[in-house]
Amino acid sequence: MSGKVVRIGGASAFWGDSMTAAPQLLASGAVDYLIFDYLAEITMSIMARMRAKDPAQGYATDFVAVTLKRLLPEIARRRVKIVANAGGVNPAACAAAIRALVAEAGLGLKVGVVLGDDLVPQIDRLKDRLQPMEPGAAPPDRFMSANAYLGAAPIAAALQAGADIVVTGRCVDSALCLGPLLHEFDWDLRDFDRLATGSLAGHIIECGAQASGGLFTDWQDVPDWDNIGYPIAEVAEDGSFTVTKPAGTGGLVSVGTVSEQLVYEIGDPACYRLPDVTCDFSAVRIEQTGENRVRVSGAKGRPPGDRYKVSATYLDGYRAVAHLTIGGIDARAKAERTAAAILKRTRQIFARLNLGDYRASSVEVLGAEAMYGPHATQAALAVREVVLKLSVSHAEKAALDIFAREIAPAGTSFSAGTTGFFGGRPAPQPVVRLFSCFIAKDALPVSLDTDGTARPLSLPVIAGDDAGAPAAQPDRAALPAGPTKTVPLVRLAWARSGDKGDDSNIGVIARRADYLPAIRAALTADAVQAWFAHLAEGPVERFEWPGIHGFNFLLHRALGGGGIASLRNDPQGKAYAQMLLDFPVPVPAAWPL
Q: State pLDDT tens for residues 417-456.
A: 999 887 789 999 999 888 999 999 999 999 999 998 999 9
Q: Residue 469 has what pLDDT?
A: 59
Does residue 529 form part of some domain? yes
Do 262 and 328 belong to one domain?
Answer: no
Contacts of 17 (CB under 8 A, 6+ apart): 11, 208
Judge whether residue 472 has pLDDT over 80: no
Please provide the size of the chain in residues: 593
308 pLDDT band, cuts 50/70/90, is very high
Q: Using one digit for the tens of pLDDT, what is the confidence trace for 74-87?
A: 999 999 999 999 99
Do 319 and 293 belong to one domain?
Answer: no
Does residue 10 form part of some domain? yes
**What is the rounded CA–CA span in Å between residue 391 and residue 322?**
6
Does residue 174 form part of some domain? yes
Do 344 and 292 belong to one domain?
Answer: no
DSSP secondary structure of 372-387: GGGG--HHHHT-SEEE
Q: Residue 468 has what pLDDT?
A: 64
Domain ends where: 433, 456, 472? 433
Q: Residue 475 has what pLDDT?
A: 62
Question: Helical H runs in 406-503?
Answer: 410-413
Residues 123/143, Cβ–Cβ less than 8 Å: yes
**What is the rounded CA–CA span in Å between residue 113 and residue 68?**
16
Beta strands of 441-583 (E only): which ranges? Answer: 446-449, 454-457, 484-488, 493-500, 503-510, 540-545, 550-555
Hey, what amino acid is at 117? D
Bridge partners, 509 (sequence order) = 494, 550
Beta strands of 196-246 (E only): which ranges? Answer: 232-236, 241-244
**What is the rounded CA–CA span in Å between residue 143 and residue 422?**
34
Q: Using one digit for the tens of pLDDT, what is the confidence trace for 474-500?
A: 667 778 888 999 999 999 999 999 998
Do 188 and 289 belong to one domain?
Answer: yes
Lowest average pLDDT, out of 38-42, 59-63, 334-338, 396-400, goes to 38-42
Interval 171-198 mean pLDDT:
98
How would you classify the pairing of strands 111-115 and 418-419? unpaired
Does residue 308 form part of some domain? no
Beta strands of 328-471 (E only): which ranges? Answer: 360-366, 385-394, 418-419, 429-440, 446-449, 454-457
Do 374 and 239 belong to one domain?
Answer: no
Interval 23-27 mean pLDDT:
98
Residues 429/319, Cβ–Cβ less than 8 Å: yes
Do 291 and 333 belong to one domain?
Answer: no
Q: Using one digit for the tens of pLDDT, what is the confidence trace for 220-258?
A: 999 999 999 999 999 999 999 999 999 999 999 999 999
Do 257 and 155 belong to one domain?
Answer: yes
Q: Residue 293 has what pLDDT?
A: 98
Hey, what amino acid is at 213? G
Residues 431/320, Cβ–Cβ less than 8 Å: no
Do 60 and 176 belong to one domain?
Answer: yes
Interval 246-274 mean pLDDT:
97
Q: Using one digit for the tens of pLDDT, what is the confidence trace for 361-373?
A: 999 999 999 999 9
Q: To the nearest 5 percent, what fractions of the chain are helix, strand and coil?
A: 35, 25, 40
Does residue 447 form part of some domain? no
Does residue 40 form part of some domain? yes
Judge whether residue 206 has pLDDT over 60: yes
Which of 87, 182, 180 has the alpha carbon at shortest distance from 449?
87
Domain assignment of residue 325, given as a range = 315-433
Do 489 and 557 belong to one domain?
Answer: yes
Which of 505, 592, 515 has the alpha carbon at shortest distance from 549?
515
Three-state DSSP state, 5: strand
Do 11 and 108 belong to one domain?
Answer: yes
What percentage of the chain carries pLDDT values higher than 70? 98
As for how many domains the chain has, the answer is 3
Interval 17-34 mean pLDDT:
98
Which of 197, 173, 255, 193 has the alpha carbon at shortest distance from 498?
173
Indicate the pTM of the whole model.
0.95
Do 53 and 166 belong to one domain?
Answer: yes
Instruction: Identify the residue with better confidence: 313 or 21.
Output: 21
Whichever domain contains 383, its CATH number is 3.30.70
Which of 421, 407, 419 has the alpha carbon at shortest distance from 331?
419
Do 66 and 187 belong to one domain?
Answer: yes
Does residue 498 form part of some domain? yes
Does residue 500 form part of some domain? yes
Domain ends where: 265, 297, 329? 297
